[in-house]
Structure 1
Amino acid sequence: MPVSLTRPLAPEPYAMLPHVASFELVSEDVRHGEPLPDAVQAPPGGDASPQLSWSGFPAATRSFLVNVFDPDAPGVSGFWHWVLVDVPVTTTSLARGAGAPDGTRVPSGSFHVRGDHGLAGYEGAAPPHGDRPHRYYIAVHALDVERLGVTVGAMPGAVSIEGVRHTLARGVLMGTAQR
């Protein structure tokens, strides 16, 4: 059954959460509101997590949570493409490919939880063929704790809920993809 091109656009996910301060999040790979490059899309693209850098977060920050979420995925809860937990406060950038599933490119002490694709690590954008453009929200959350208190086996939604409880500020980029 083909995906309907007329379903309503999902709400902007972070607008529905309690308001927090924002800080600068930039990427050599992603330009806010523009199509994602092939390098960060699922195969036949490069399937590499985007390069990210951030600054201007609150002095009280103790760690970061990084995620990539598609609210436009056909389903009731969107699709989590990447969740990186317990990024040390001394880390203010991630190289392209840091989301490699083997976990060798993440900062010491941090870890991936499984995304909705069932694997730990980044999975590139892969909207259904023929669907309208999907929005991919890349967020870095400045947290008030060094450790979020979740385990590698945590589900992305549960990590998000715990993250909301500890978020001081957030940097967000949004790219789009369509097949």
Structure 2
Amino acid sequence: MTLTKSISLLSVLCLSALPAAAMSLSSTDIQEGQLMDKAFSFNGFGCKGDNRSPQLSWQGLPAGTKSIAITAYDPDAPTGSGWWHWLVVNLPVSQSELASNASGHLKQGIELRTDFGTQGYGGPCPPAGHGMHRYQFTAWALPEAKLEVTAETPPAMVGYMLNSMALGNATLTATFVTP
């Protein structure tokens, strides 16, 4: 074996041993561990925000990904089961971003019913005096082009489906406190 072929073979072996790039989620509107602006807060239930969905971008999808889902979930809600604030499914794998205030204006994908009982984004609105809540925005890489749900599928069922079938996911956690 020549030196060139040996180096070439060594390069291939080293590259194949590297882990695949991890899936990531970022935003120009919200930051990991930071308080969300009132513009993203729900308008109702005692909150007076603009209910704007934040911009989100994802990358590093695992091999075999055929669609993307986006969720926003509050594990600190005083319900015993958290609170689903946003569920978007059936986004094409070619899409890598949702623009700021995209809720209600999606060209592809479907927004499902949240725990507020309505379709689309429902921003943060922890009960007054309940302290800081975490809002987990997650991008899910799915092996199916279409998740078999309707706009009325219960949020907990969608969460179960995503957790049981995802090829990968990435979460950005922001916070909010109701004054």
2:45 corresponds to 1:41: no
Q: Distance in 2 between matches of 1:149 and 1:163?
A: 11
Which residue of structure 1 aligns with residue 101 of structure 2? 97
Which residue of structure 2 aligns with residue 81 of structure 1? 85
Which residue among 43, 55, 59 is the counterpart of 1:55?
59
Which residue of structure 2 aligns with residue 26 of structure 1? 26
Percent identity (aligned): 36
Which residue of structure 2 aligns with residue 65 of structure 1? 69
Number of residue pairs matched?
154
Q: Distance in 1 between matches of 2:131 and 2:176?
A: 9
Q: What is the Cα-based RMSD across aligned positions, in Å?
A: 1.3
CA deviation digits over 1:134-156, x for unaligned, max 9?
00000010001101111222011
TM-score by structure 2 length? 0.82
Letter in 2 for 1:76: G
Q: Distance in 2 between matches of 1:153 and 1:22?
A: 32
Which residue of structure 2 aligns with residue 126 of structure 1? 125
Q: Distance in 1 between matches of 2:58 and 2:173?
A: 15
Q: Distance in 2 between matches of 1:134 and 1:71?
A: 8
Q: Distance in 2 between matches of 1:139 and 1:32?
A: 12
Question: Aligned to 1:114, what secondary structure does the other structure show?
Answer: coil
TM-score by structure 1 length? 0.82
Q: Distance in 2 between matches of 1:76 and 1:171?
A: 24
- For structure 2, list consecutive stretches of 5 or more residues without a partner in the other structure: 1-20
Which protein is richer in helix relative to its size?
2
Q: Distance in 1 between matches of 2:164 and 2:90?
A: 14
Moved over 6 A (4+): none
Letter in 2 for 1:50: P
- For structure 1, list consecutive stretches of 5 or more residues without a partner in the other structure: 1-20
Which residue of structure 1 aligns with residue 16 of structure 2? none
